[in-house]
Amino acid sequence: MGSITSVLHQISIPSQLCAFTAVVGAVACFLVLALIAALYARSNTRPYLNRVSFRLVVYALVSMLLHAITLAVASFATGPSTTCSFTMWILMLALQFTSYLMFGIAINLQLVLVHGVSGRAMEKYYIIGATVVSLCVTLPPFATHQYGWDPIYGACWFTAADSKTRLEWQLGTHMIWTLLAAIGEMISFFVVYTHLHRHQVLYAATIRSGSFPRATNNSTTTTRLSPSYAIQYRSIIIRISLYPAVSIVMNILTFSCDLFISLRATATATQTDYNIAALIDFLYGLRPTVYAALAATDPALLRAIRVALDDIRGVKSTESTSADSKRSSVRFDKTSSGTRPSTSTTRTLEGRPPSRDFDSKPENENGARLDALRWEEVHRARMAEEAHVREDSEEFEKQI
């Protein structure tokens, strides 16, 4: 079948497969970003997009848009050029930046759910960390002209013709970092799902026993989140975790394929080599489309779309009502490190004084007046408590 070099020339980055998927990905990212911008411009839908993980996804979509555009440009390169080198740097920079933003989403879920850390306080560190890592990883090969026309792939990739040198650069500036991001995402993914399962069991046991024991705020347990939050937001948490889950799959696949082709760069080509090389092109072009599809079906975006459509039709949205009905009975503790969920269970108020049955006839006029004052006091306390619960629940949803 010939050397692997000849095979790679047939299905390299300039192939129609890679170019087509890159263009589709660029269009998909642009459309989703345009929709998000339109919803963010509306005052009644903007609050629904106010979630840490969703903002990280928006940054990732911008990065993937650059990735898709540069990949499409690189697909038409026919030889060494400055454009080839520069587009490869932007492509790899966007790829690493997106990978570590997905890692940031996974870490944020773990920090908020398990450790009670403020997600909004940590948001800037996720962005700064992803930026610093991606620049540190991609600037050295760009400065030493390792990005450019690839004599093995016959396309814009790594310039080293020596297989050993090529593998060293790929491992040190691309593959290892992709693998580390995937490993970090898997660890956080496992911790979050273990935490959710533990709270599911705890909540079920509490329901069966019919008792809701209190816990002090200075509890030494590592589980700081009340079961009600874990249960209430379980579907949203699982949906958010799809971002790092998909990133794990994509990163491991690209790492494995890149390593396989790099190790066999000088070997005799087989049908397996052809299939793996074609898969690499497809994966790099498909990634922007996958992230755009995930963002388009994000719960925050879908709720904002429903509110906007109801507003256009002149119908009062039911989103606020349905959200209020799901509020948890858990309060947040204000700490120096941010806002964290408390383990204390909020007291349920019945709305009437415990000392007197409202259905019984009062002994005298003063007793009736006292009952009315007590009921009003308890009612005000209940309304204030419900307002606090709504605020705390909204605050928690913004953190994840």
Q: Would the pTM of this model clear 0.95, i.e. be above it?
A: no
Cα-only R_g, the chain:
27
β-strands 338-345, 155-158 pairing = unpaired
Angle at 310 between CA 308 and CA 315, to 5 degrees: 145
Handedness of CA 203, 207, 213, 214 (dihedral sign): positive
Identify the pLDDT of residue 327: 42
For the chain, report the end-to-end CA distance as a whole number of angstroms: 52
Identify the pLDDT of residue 151: 80
231-263 confidence digits (pLDDT tens) = 778 888 999 999 999 999 999 999 999 888 888
Neighbours of 145 (CB within 10 A): 10
The structural architecture, per CATH, of the domain 4-313 is Up-down Bundle (1.20)
Cβ 70 vs Cβ 152: under 8 Å = no
The separation between CA 361 and the C-alpha centre of its own chain, rounded to angstroms, equals 59
Q: Which is more confident, 373 or 13?
A: 373
Most confidently predicted of 197-201, 321-325, 353-357: 197-201
Under the banding of pLDDT at 50, 70 and 90, the label for residue 319 is: low
Most confidently predicted of 150-154, 266-270, 363-367: 150-154
166-202 confidence digits (pLDDT tens) = 889 999 999 999 999 999 999 999 999 998 888 776 6
Identify the pLDDT of residue 7: 52
Most confidently predicted of 93-107, 230-244, 304-318, 377-391: 93-107
Identify the pLDDT of residue 388: 65
